[in-house]
Amino acid sequence: MRGMRGGGMVEVASFDDASGALIEKARLPVLLLGPDGVILRRNAAARAVFGAASASFPDLLHDPEGARSQLLRAADSALPLEIALPPAQGEVAPRRLRAYANLAPQGAGLLLLIVPEDDRLTGADEGLLPMLHDMTTATTAEALSGVLCDHLSRLFPGSSGRCYLPQKAQDGTLHPMGGWGRLALAQTVIRQLDCWALRRGGVHEVGFTGQIKPPCRNIETGIPSYICLPLRAQSAVVGIVHLLFETAPASADRAAIAALAAAISVESGPVLGMSAVVQAMLGQPIRDNETGLFSQSFVDEMLPREILRMRRAGRPLTVATVCIDQMPALGEKIGAEARQSVVRAFSQLLLAFRQGSDVASHYDADRFVLVLPDMNAEQARKRLATFQDTVTALRLDENGHPMPEISASLGVAIFPDCGDDAADLLRLSALALDKARNTGSSGQIVISSAC
C-alpha cells in the first residue's frame, strides 16, 4: 500500500538516527505509530514486511477494524495483539502475527514489536517475545531483574545465572540484583571497564564455539562454559547477565545456545530503551530526591498512558500546574536554605493531598504538577480549593522565627475538554497558571480557556 502526498509516494522515516540505532538493526519488525495508527517510523525488518510507504497500520492488516480496537488498549494490556496480514497471492489463510506494544518515551507514539507466529525465536516453550514484553512493564530495578531471571532460567534450562544492574547512574559499576540455579549467589560488583562483553559491545562466550577467548575476571574459575550477555538501551549500558553452565552443554546444543543469547542481546535493546525503570537507572529518576515527589521525566512518561486509559474508559482527567505565589520574594527574604524548607513542606502537603491513582510531581524549580484521573472541571475546582486551604493554613518557622505565610495558585487543563495530547494539556495548564499569577491576587484557580 502506498501513501500519497502532493502526487508522490511518501516514505516513512527509519530508526537510523543515533537514538534508534539498535531498533534499526533489530531482526524483528519494530513500528512507531501515531495516535491515528499511521506509521511514523519502521526499522529495516518492518520495511521488509510492510513496505516503506506511508500508511495506516490497521489498513495493512486482514481485519483493520479489529486491529484498531486492539490498538486502543494495547499500551495497557499485558497480552500481545493478535493480528494478521492479508493472504499472499495464491494462499487462502492470512499470515498471523503477534505484536507487543508499549508507549514510546515522552508520548512520541506507540511502539510495536512484531513476530510472525511461524517465525518465533528458538528457546523454551514461551520463547523470547513474552520476556521482552514483560521487561517493558517492570517498574523497579528489582522487578526488571526478576523478569530477566524468571524467563532466562526457562530459556536456558540447566543453567545458572546472575543479573547485574546499576545502582547509581553513570558511575561505571553494576551490582548483583538476582539470579537462579546453583551458582546464583554472587557478591561481586562489576566495573564496566573490567567486562569483556561491555568493552566489546557484544556477547562474550567461553566454551561454546571452540575459539580461545580470554576468561571473564568476574566469573570464578572452574566453570567450564559461560556466556556474558550485555544489556544495552541505545548506547548506554543497562546491565549484564551471566549464563553459567556447570556441565558443558552437548556440542550439538552449543551453537543454538550462543545464537539465542546473541538474539536476546540485540532484541532487548529497543525494548529496554522503552522502559521507564531503565530511564531512571540511566539518570532520569522517577522521584525527585529533594521532595519525594515524582519527577518531570516520570510525568512525561506516565501522562500519555493515563490519557489512553481514561479515553478507553470514557472518563475525564485533570492536569493542574501549581506554584507557591510568594516563592520569588521568599528567596530574597529568607535565604536559600529556608526557601528549600518551604519547598519540602509544600511537597509534603501535595503528597498528603493525593488519593488513589493521583500523581504529584516536582516538575521544575518553582512548578509542581498534579495529575488527577476521573476528575472533571467542576470536581477539580472544588477539590483543588481544599488543597489551597491546607496551604494557607501552613505555618513554618526558621530557628524559632515565624516564616511568611504562603498561598498557592493553580492552572488547570481537562481531558478531553481541553485536548487529548499530554504535551498540550501540560502546556495549557501552564498557560492557565500564568494567567492566574497575572490577576494581581494570590491563591487563584484558573481553568484553561481551551476547555
For residues 183 and 225, what is the distance between their CA atoms, to the nearest angstrom?
13
Residue-number span of the structural domain to which 308 is assigned? 296-447
Mean pLDDT check: name the lowest of 6-20, 136-150, 158-172, 203-217: 6-20
Does residue 235 share a domain with residue 141? yes
Same domain, 356 and 227: no
Confidence of residue 24 (pLDDT cuts 50, 70, 90): low
The answer to the question of residue 287 being in a domain is no
- Please tell me whether residues 133 and 277 are part of one structural domain: yes
Residues 6+ apart with CB under 8 A from 165: 141, 144, 145, 174, 175, 177, 238, 239, 281
Q: What is the mean pLDDT of residues 31-35?
A: 80
Identity of residue 387? F
Does 306 score more than 60 pLDDT?
A: yes
Q: Are 252 and 259 in contact (CB under 8 A)?
A: no
Task: Looking at mean pLDDT, say which of 66-70, 242-246, 293-297 comes out highest.
Answer: 242-246
Any idea which of 94-103, 190-199, 305-314, 423-432 has the lowest mean pLDDT?
94-103
CATH of the domain at 46: 3.30.450.20
Q: What is the DSSP string of 25-89?
A: H-SS-EEEE-TTSBEEEE-HHHHHHH-SB--BGGGGSS-HHHHHHHHHTGGG-SSPEEEEEPPPT
C-alpha cell at position 382: 472544588
Grid coordinates belonging to 123: 528457546
- The model's confidence at residue 26, banded by pLDDT at 50, 70 and 90, is low
Q: How many domains does the chain have?
A: 3
Q: How confident is the model at residue 168 (pLDDT cuts 50, 70, 90)?
A: low
Distances (CA, A) of 109 to 33, 98, 227, 421, 424: 5, 19, 35, 11, 15
The tens digit of pLDDT for each residue in 88-108 reads 777 777 877 777 666 665 556
Q: How confident is the model at residue 163 (pLDDT cuts 50, 70, 90)?
A: very high
Among the ranges given (33-42, 81-90, 124-133, 140-149), the one the predictor scored with the smallest mean pLDDT: 124-133
Same domain, 223 and 331: no
The pLDDT value recorded for residue 242 is: 94
Say which residue the cell 539470579 belongs to. 179
From 116, 148, 164, the end of a domain falls on 116
Residues 135 and 270 in one domain: yes
DSSP class of 229: E
Contact 267, 128 (CB under 8 A): yes
Q: CATH code at 202?
A: 3.30.450.40
Let me know whether 195 and 314 are in one domain.
no
Peptide bond into 270 cis (omega under 30): no
Neighbouring CB atoms inside 10 A of 127's CB total: 18
Q: Is 403 helix (H, G, I), strand (E, B) or coil?
A: coil
Per-residue pLDDT at 35 exceeds 50: yes
Claim to verify: residue 64 and residue 141 sit in the same structural domain: no
Kindly tell me if the per-residue pLDDT of 174 is higher than 50: yes
For the chain, give the percent of residues with pLDDT over 70.
76
Closest CA to 243 of 183, 191, 196, 173: 183
Please measure the distance between the N-terminal and C-terminal CA atoms of the chain and give it in whole angstroms.
Answer: 38
**Of 226, 249, 281, which residue is a domain's last?**
281
Please report the pLDDT score of residue 65 as a whole number.
85
CA–CA distance, 26 with 193 (Å, rounded to integer): 26
Q: How confident is the model over 371-387, as a mean pLDDT?
A: 94
By mean pLDDT, which of 123-137, 159-173, 182-196 is the weakest? 123-137
- Name the residue with higher pLDDT: 375 or 18: 375
What is the pLDDT, as a whole number, of residue 283?
62
Residue in 193, 148, 202 with CA at minimum distance from that of residue 25: 202
Same domain? For 96 and 157 the reply is no
* Residue range 359-374: mean pLDDT, rounded: 89
Taking residues 40-45, what's their average pLDDT? 82
Looking at the fold, whether 35 and 154 belong to one and the same domain comes out as no
The confidence score (pLDDT) of residue 63 equals: 85
**Do 442 and 301 fall into the same domain?**
yes
pLDDT exceeds cutoff 80 at 445: yes
Question: Please, which pLDDT band fits residue 27 given cuts at 50, 70 and 90?
Answer: low
Q: Is residue 23 very low, low, confident or very high in pLDDT (cuts 50, 70, 90)?
A: low
Please give the pLDDT value at position 391.
93
Q: 431, 383, 409: which is closest to 323 by C-alpha?
A: 409
Name the domain boundary from 116, 139, 160.
116
For position 442, which CATH number holds? 3.30.70.270
Q: Which helix (H) or strand (E) segment is 131 a member of?
A: helix 129-137
Residues 193 and 316 reside in one and the same domain: no
What are the residues facing 249 on neighbouring strands? none
For residue 292, give the C-alpha cell: 519525594
Domain co-membership, 339 together with 267: no
pLDDT digits (tens, 9 = 90+) for 45-93: 788 888 877 788 888 888 888 888 777 766 555 456 778 888 877 777 7
